[in-house]
Amino acid sequence: MIVRTLNEILGTEREVDGETWISRRLVLADDNMGYSVHDTVIRAGTETHIHYKNHLETVYCIAGEGEVYTVADGRKWPIGPDTVYVLDQNDEHYLRAYEAADMRMVCVFRPALTGKEVHDADGVYPAPEETTT
């Protein structure tokens, strides 16, 4: 069994700063679970363009308020505590955190991230070289 705390990964290479967000990667590809799990803070007052063409992501919001704008249908989805959104179509979107407070999200990626990824200019993470799923 693996046991890990947020506190012990803060300040290590498992903590990745994407400017508008900071991702604390609790479970990664080398744990061989087929998915990765991140505790991610979205900085208040920011907008992030995201298009995970190579990954599926589920995001559960536990704090803060914001919205997701999905490009394909032009819809705005309010996101706040106790709300999950599921990017089951590799949906291109804009994630906006309102000014009042940072958002805190639990993110699950399949296939798992290796831990080194940051978004490219199109909001994409590169495809994994190999996956366990």
The residues facing 87 across adjacent strands are 57
40 binds ligand 9YT (CB under 6 A): yes
The residues facing 61 across adjacent strands are 83, 105
* Of positions 23, 35, 108, 111, contacts ligand 9YT by CB under 6 A: 23
21 binds ligand 9YT (CB under 6 A): yes
Of 55 and 73, nearer to ligand 9YT (C-beta) is 55
Count of residues touching ligand 9YT (by CB under 6 A) = 11
Contact assessment for residue 122 and residue 51, using Cβ atoms and an 8 Å cutoff: yes
95 binds ligand 9YT (CB under 6 A): yes
Contact assessment for residue 23 and residue 107, using Cβ atoms and an 8 Å cutoff: yes
Of 60 and 132, nearer to ligand 9YT (C-beta) is 60
